[in-house]
Amino acid sequence: MSGFNAVVLLAARPDGKTFEMWDERVYTGSEGDSWTIPAGFKTDFATIPACVSWAIPKLGAYSLAAIVHDLLCVGLNDWHEALKSLADEGGYFTTDSAGAKGIVANGRFVPVPTADAVDTDAIFRKIAKQYGVDRVTATLLWVGVRWGALGNAARREGWLKTAPAVLGWSLLFAPVLLPASVLAVVGGGILRVVRRIFR
Mean pLDDT, range 167-183, rounded to an integer: 91
Amino acid 158 reads G
Enclosing domain of residue 100: 3-197
Whole-angstrom distance, CA of residue 82 vs CA of residue 93 = 10
Name the 3-class secondary structure at 152: coil
Beta strand segments in 53-166, E: 92-95, 101-105, 108-111
Whole-angstrom distance, CA of residue 26 vs CA of residue 37 = 6
Angle CA(93)–CA(123)–CA(64) in degrees, nearest 5?
Answer: 105
Number of domains in the chain: 1
Whole-angstrom distance, CA of residue 166 vs CA of residue 168 = 6
End-to-end alpha-carbon separation of the chain, Å? 52
Is the CB of residue 150 less than 8 Å from the CB of residue 159? yes
Measure the CA dihedral 117/134/176/174, to 10°: 20
Residues 6+ apart with CB under 8 A from 191: none
Per-residue pLDDT tens over the stretch 121-172? 999 999 999 999 999 999 999 999 999 999 999 999 999 999 999 999 999 9
Mean pLDDT, range 180-187, rounded to an integer: 85
Per-residue pLDDT tens over the stretch 34-91? 999 999 999 999 988 877 888 898 899 999 999 999 999 999 999 998 888 876 767 7
Residue 113 has pLDDT above 90, yes or no: yes
pLDDT at residue number 159: 96
pLDDT at residue number 117: 96
Whole-angstrom distance, CA of residue 154 vs CA of residue 152 = 5
Q: How confident is the model at residue 32 (pLDDT cuts 50, 70, 90)?
A: confident
Strand 101-105 with 108-111, pairing: antiparallel
Amino acid 30 reads S
Is the CB of residue 40 less than 8 Å from the CB of residue 103? no
